[in-house]
């Protein structure tokens, strides 16, 4: 559930990079998402940020 919600927010582009990165860090530390999911979500954010540059 946490992973799906985070993915939807990231896909929408309606977030601040640093805030979302911090949230994802907390989610993975609290085992709400897996390391694989964390990496996927961070890669999505990085790709979006590069496209905006």
Question: Where are the domains positioned within the chain?
Answer: 2-52
Give me the residue label for tokens 């609290």: 30
Cα separation, 53 vs 36, whole angstroms? 26
Cα separation, 50 vs 30, whole angstroms? 28
pTM exceeds 0.95: no
**In this structure, how many other beta carbons lie within 10 angstroms of the beta carbon of residue 38?**
19
pLDDT tens-digit series, residues 3-43: 999 999 999 999 999 999 999 999 999 999 999 999 999 99
């Amino acid at each position: 559930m946490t992973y799906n919600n985070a993915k939807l927010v990231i896909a929408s582009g309606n977030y601040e990079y640093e805030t979302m990165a911090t949230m994802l860090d907390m989610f993975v530390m609290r085992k709400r998402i897996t390391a694989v999911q964390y990496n996927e979500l961070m890669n999505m954010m990085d790709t979006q940020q590069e496209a905006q540059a």
